[in-house]
Structure 1
Amino acid sequence: MKGRDLDTANWCLHYPDPFPQQESGDDCAIFTCKYMECLAHRDTQGFPFTQYT
């Protein structure tokens, strides 16, 4: 796969509802890491660092 283009044309995007948003501009790294951890466990409802919109 290395060196080849990745065809994403047929990928489906799913957005959780409600979806978490970062509250401040200085913790984006931890926000991203914690959200990826929750996605890996398929538990976005228990996301601890968020303000739901």
Structure 2
Amino acid sequence: MDFEYQAMRSFADSWGLLFMTVTFIGAVLFALRPGGKASADEAARIPFKED
């Protein structure tokens, strides 16, 4: 059991961290893309459409 834990821990420390970093950078780039302002503004107004 100790070997399985060490193997999973090693995987998470290397590839898991890389995956989370790439995913975070992708999400930031998606949110800050040049054509995204109009759709973000429209989505921000959704809760107030019925008022």
Question: If the length of structure 1 is used for normalisation, what is the TM-score?
Answer: 0.31
Larger proportion of strand: 1
Q: Which has the larger radius of gyration?
A: 2
Larger proportion of helix: 2
Higher relative contact order (CA 8 A, sep 6+): 1
